[in-house]
Structure 1
Amino acid sequence: MLPKEIFRQYDIRGIVPKTFNQEIACNIANVFGYQIKEKLQKNNPVVSVGRDVRISSDDIFKGVLKGLNDAGCNVIELGHCPTPVTYFSAFHLKTDAFLMITGSHNPSDYNGMKLGIGKSTYHSELITSMYEDFLKYGYREEKEKGSHSTYDIKREYIKWTLEHFKTLKEKINNIDRKITIVLDAGNGVASDVAPEIFKNLGVNVVELYCEYDGNFPNHHPDPTVEENLKDAKDKIKVTNADFAVAYDGDADRIGVVDNEQNVIWGDMLILILAREIAKTIKRPTIIADVKASQVLFDELKKDGINAIMWKTGHSLIKSKLKETNAELAGEMSGHIFFADRYFGYDDAIYSSVRFLESYVNELISGKITKVSDLLRNVPKVYNTPEIRFECEESRKFEIVENLAKKFDEYKKNNKFGVKDIITIDGIRVIFEKGWGLLRASNTQPVLVMRFEATDLNSMNSYKDIFEKELNSL
């Protein structure tokens, strides 16, 4: 049987070997193979399969290969590569479907899958439908098995990227000093791809943990946790680097640290990238998730950019990008999606090159001299990191709904200075000097809070209000 809990909102993920192993992967891939055939009405569809460098990934691949081949699917093995490179294969090779074996930013004993048909990623009901189909049909085999071939997609991805940034390379070569960048791959799949791209663009690369190691011995491969960026910060000090880029385990999430060792969080990264796009596109549309700073939305509006606040979750953001024809989307978790000059999926390596491009263009214009200048005129606010606490799965959405009712009454009665309530994803309560957020995680039995204000006292008071109201429920 398949463990139901591994079928999550955006992907499949479990602990090896307890809830995710070769046999489980084989069963899931088999179901996926038949879903591809049914949706496309095609025999022997072609599926590109990549994998991360976790210790279990090679073994998991064997199960995936068998499951797909038994379903009559032809498999193109991409080997160890970033998740966005597997996505790239769907466009470059025009495969019928894709599957990435990855535990993303989870600890080394996790593994899982991200997958899709055509150029669209599976999420929500499509993921749970695989569990339902397995219960209904079980494991199936075709008389005519699928084939197995290999392809060096990383080489093509690097080639494509360098071809599309020729002008950037020329600009970098004409700058009268060498740009230095620290690249922290966290021993994940960006380890070989990212350094080669940046070196070929003409920058001095300081490599940090750019060796494959599925045990992730140096730090957890999650660049959205500041503690994991400590070594990158230290390298900036020692090397006087212009900035540092860190990637998660499968290279679809980005972290950036400026020359003063300050983290440029996801929302401010979106602001920098959006401003660069606005130089060539009039009134571009930019999407950010509900956890993003109000400063981002205010600054985008001030710059004449159409800003949309949307639900948290990389698959949900990606869908909104397509629906609105936006040029750029992103979220606080470091997923950045470019439709402008790219394919519309989250790619941390591509995003880091676009960040370099933004920096170089501002340098050449003479408007700035260092990366920290990019946000020099952005208003200062105080905000908390994500505050996460466990909550029963059966109660988490009910709690958010009940709190929304309370704050709606407070808005009517002008209590606590509640100005507005945004219910796109959970509740984002707008106060006089800031906002507070409560939302239910889509993937865990967890509630998430975040607060922001123009001064520290207001931020803490909004936090106190939320906590007091939650305790009364």
Structure 2
Amino acid sequence: MKTFEPIAITCFKAYDVRGELGVSLDERIAYRIGRAFAQFLGEQTCQDTATIVVGADIRPSSETLKAAVIDGITDAGIDVIDLGMTGTEEVYFATSHYQAIGGIEITASHNPINYNGLKMVREHSRPISADTGLAQVQALAESGQFTTRPKGKITQLASKDAYIAKLMSFIDTTKLRPQKIIINSGNGAAGPVVDALESQLIAANAPIELIKIHHTPDGSFPNGIPNPMIIANQATTRDAVLAHQADFGVAFDGDFDRCFLFDANGRFIEGSYVVGMLAEAFLQKHPKQTIVYDPRVIYNTENVVSRLGGVAALSKSGHSFIKQVMRDEQAIYGGEMSAHHYFKEFFYCDSGMIVWLLVSELLSSTGKSLATLVDDYIAKFPSSGELNFRLGGHDATSIITKLEQLFANENPSKNTLDGLSLDFGKWRFNLRSSNTEPLIRLNIESRGDKALLAQKTAELVSFLQQHGAASADH
């Protein structure tokens, strides 16, 4: 029987695993995490047979890490459904659909090419975080105190049919009006799913034309790491929208759990306004339901929910936290300004694909353009967009504390659910540390006052730079 020496594993984060290849994450560590995850969940379920679904994005390192994870899971006596190359939401779907005890996606999403990671869920696609099992998985992986069971078996499952059918169930194709949509998959994992959805739209005689760019999955990312939140990366989608006179554009990150939108003018739509738009669409169909949102940008979402008689529920940022609040509150929809959107009917999980399908249906049913739908939001509640800063060795907690002290005499309303949020009535900001990258993230918004927004943005950016933070948005 193989024995394992205790080791330190440093790639565990608040709600997933993310690490630099060869530094904090490699096949040996991936094996131990897979085995610990399977043993932990297997002991909790006490089933004679149990299965974990596993998928991986297109990064060159993902396939070898996936193989190591699968080896660890099967050595723990748990069966595996290997989904092949997938986006994260495909693992979320399969975990519930195939009644698995858990799921793992090997992905680093939008992080640099020398990073990778694991996104994990429990039974029924429930989130797992440090408070709900991730700490135990880390402790077991580090200790190497694994039990011995007969090796589990592996089933390959390439078909996406059940998943595609679930996505299509969110829209009524008979309501779709003629539209031209740009889809930028960023050479990530989204391409095959977009193709499958396109086939379904064609079969339904839906008058939707998809113009696909950077479509072929390519782990070398020849057009750059797919992270549409970086301003420089938005030009490709914007230019394609304008060149093809499209109705709107869609851009995905690497594992396509985030969906970014561009209107017909090529304008990038900040995620918080998309949250408001989808919250409004859901509340009009389902009155008095609960909408979950994160603390970074809140004015518009709270206004929409209040105006339509819904229930607003604030959650800490991050998929694990949002999903748990949604389950606790039975929320119909949840959204983050970072372009994660969560749906009760998708097992309370986030999906990038459902978003653009819903937007296409919404433009068809309202007869309005995307720009028209969000212009009022933007005018009433202008925001800075998320501004990212590298710390350069400085301490995030110290910087946040100093910023709070700077405004102490103004007696703002304070919320520390996620970083520091200070609300001054006419404007507010949120400053928080990233859970996935060595950054601090700043968001500022105002109540209809663009000049005040610009003034406060300049002040806060200057303050952060004076205290050693350097802009990472380039």
User: What is the TM-score of this pair, normalised by structure 2?
Assistant: 0.88
Pair 1:443–1:141, CA change in 2 (3 A): same
Counterpart residue identity of residue 129, structure 1: Q
Measured after TM superposition, the shift of residue 467 of structure 1 is: 6.0
Measured after TM superposition, the shift of residue 143 of structure 1 is: 4.7
Contact 1:393/1:445, CA 8 A, preserved across alignment: no
- Which runs of 5 or more structure 1 residues have no equivalent in the other structure? 412-417
Pairing 1:130–2:124 present: no
Query: Which residue number corresponds to residue 103 of structure 2?
Result: 98
Contact 1:2/1:24, CA 8 A, preserved across alignment: no
What are the residue-to-residue correspondences of 1:436-447 with 2, within 5 Å?
436-447=429-440
Cα distance in 2 for partners of 1:260, 1:52 equals 31
Measured after TM superposition, the shift of residue 17 of structure 1 is: 3.1
Query: Which residue number corresponds to residue 54 of structure 1?
Result: 59
Pair 1:19–1:234, CA change in 2 (3 A): same
Query: Which residue number corresponds to residue 414 of structure 1?
Result: none
Counterpart residue identity of residue 372, structure 2: D
Counterpart residue identity of residue 154, structure 2: H
Query: Which residue number corresponds to residue 376 of structure 2?
Result: 377
Query: Which residue number corresponds to residue 388 of structure 1?
Result: 388
Query: Which residue number corresponds to residue 193 of structure 2?
Result: 193
Contact 1:223/1:253, CA 8 A, preserved across alignment: no
1:140 to 134, 146, 153: 146
Pairing 1:347–2:351 present: yes
Stretch moving more, 243-252 or 432-441:
432-441
Pairing 1:180–2:180 present: yes
Contact 2:104/2:119, CA 8 A, preserved across alignment: yes
Query: Which residue number corresponds to residue 430 of structure 1?
Result: 423
SS in 1 for 2:221: coil
Cα distance in 1 for partners of 2:395, 2:80 equals 42
Measured after TM superposition, the shift of residue 62 of structure 1 is: 1.6
What are the residue-to-residue correspondences of 1:451-470 with 2, within 5 Å?
451-453=444-446, 454-463=448-457, 466=460
Query: Which residue number corresponds to residue 161 of structure 1?
Result: 167
Measured after TM superposition, the shift of residue 459 of structure 1 is: 2.1
2:279 to 270, 274, 277: 274
Cα distance in 2 for partners of 1:181, 1:345 equals 25
SS in 2 for 1:378: helix
Cα distance in 2 for partners of 1:375, 1:100 equals 33
Stretch moving more, 252-261 or 57-66:
57-66
Cα distance in 2 for partners of 1:400, 1:209 equals 39
2:119 to 110, 114, 128: 114
SS in 2 for 1:116: strand
Contact 2:251/2:261, CA 8 A, preserved across alignment: yes
Cα distance in 2 for partners of 1:148, 1:472 equals 53
Query: Which residue number corresponds to residue 224 of structure 1?
Result: 229
Measured after TM superposition, the shift of residue 31 of structure 1 is: 1.1
Pair 1:224–1:388, CA change in 2 (3 A): closer
Q: Deviations over 1:11-30 (max 9, x none)?
A: 11122233322222111111
Structure with bigger RCO (C-alpha 8 Å, 6+ apart) = 2
Contact 1:184/1:209, CA 8 A, preserved across alignment: yes
Query: Which residue number corresponds to residue 208 of structure 1?
Result: 213
Contact 1:337/1:345, CA 8 A, preserved across alignment: yes
Identity %: 26
What are the residue-to-residue correspondences of 1:235-274 with 2, within 5 Å?
235-274=240-279
Pair 1:271–1:17, CA change in 2 (3 A): same
Pair 1:224–1:198, CA change in 2 (3 A): farther
Query: Which residue number corresponds to residue 170 of structure 1?
Result: 174
SS in 2 for 1:99: strand
Stretch moving more, 460-469 or 139-148:
460-469
Pair 1:151–1:400, CA change in 2 (3 A): same
SS in 2 for 1:279: helix
Q: Deviations over 1:235-294 (max 9, x none)?
A: 111111111111111111110101111112211111111111122211221122111241
Measured after TM superposition, the shift of residue 426 of structure 1 is: 2.3
Query: Which residue number corresponds to residue 3 of structure 2?
Result: none
SS in 1 for 2:117: strand
Contact 2:127/2:324, CA 8 A, preserved across alignment: no
Cα distance in 1 for partners of 2:385, 2:279 equals 23
Contact 1:252/1:335, CA 8 A, preserved across alignment: yes
Pair 1:223–1:159, CA change in 2 (3 A): same
Q: Deviations over 1:199-257 (max 9, x none)?
A: 52221110111111011111321122232221111111111111111111111111010
Pair 1:457–1:179, CA change in 2 (3 A): closer
Contact 2:399/2:467, CA 8 A, preserved across alignment: no
Q: Deviations over 1:36-80 (max 9, x none)?
A: 122112344211111111111111122112111111111111111
Q: What's the RMSD between the two structures over aligned residues?
A: 2.5
Contact 2:127/2:319, CA 8 A, preserved across alignment: no
Query: Which residue number corresponds to residue 400 of structure 1?
Result: 400
SS in 2 for 1:307: strand
Contact 2:9/2:142, CA 8 A, preserved across alignment: no
Q: Deviations over 1:291-327 (max 9, x none)?
A: 1241332233223232233322221111111111111
Cα distance in 1 for partners of 2:391, 2:154 equals 45
Contact 2:107/2:119, CA 8 A, preserved across alignment: yes
Counterpart residue identity of residue 397, structure 1: T
Measured after TM superposition, the shift of residue 188 of structure 1 is: 1.1
Pair 1:373–1:195, CA change in 2 (3 A): farther
- Which runs of 5 or more structure 2 residues have no equivalent in the other structure? 1-5, 469-474
Q: Deviations over 1:387-441 (max 9, x none)?
A: 3334489943354356446644431xxxxxx4x2233222222224311222233
User: What is the TM-score of this pair, normalised by structure 1?
Assistant: 0.89
Cα distance in 2 for partners of 1:227, 1:100 equals 28
Contact 2:9/2:24, CA 8 A, preserved across alignment: no
Pair 1:3–1:14, CA change in 2 (3 A): farther
Measured after TM superposition, the shift of residue 101 of structure 1 is: 1.0
